[in-house]
Structure 1
């Protein structure tokens, strides 16, 4: 089961006064625990563009993403999505380099 939460914090930052701390929780099977994590923006129904990271990483994409590792899931908190607004996936990179999509959610951009 996954959930998407949207938290709003008011900040004064010139052109953008609201920052959305957007969260996506990504549950996985025990057999996938050691696989690389994936965070990407959907580019078509079957594809996405993004990054991979390790289960030990806590900050990703130059600090734009914070990752918390649980026993059977990881949670990504995005202060600002690195690829702009859109539908984002979290997942695992399988041994044959295909993405195992765990969850998805629409992330807003302040830009």
Structure 2
């Protein structure tokens, strides 16, 4: 189920992601909030999906990163900042971060 964020929260999510990436689109659909972005220097595409599953906030990331440790660190740092912000804003006790099919704990 899609996470419903206020305009202020959406602006903050966009600001968090823009700090590291150049945003192409933030598109809410019926199922999730979809963030499509690419790294400024490496021109790699990164996708974040934000959605709710029962009482759990899911932050799912798809990234095709080839031999770029710097970009990998950027992706995780951005996800951690999103994670912290959304946990504080939504008050959900359970949150998962999934990157390329692997669950990560912060």
TM-score of the superposed pair, with normalisation by structure 1: 0.28
Higher relative contact order at CA 8 Å, sep ≥6: structure 1 or structure 2? 1
The structure in which a higher percent of residues are strand is: 1
Q: Which has the larger radius of gyration?
A: 1
TM-score of the superposed pair, with normalisation by structure 2: 0.29
The structure in which a higher percent of residues are helix is: 2
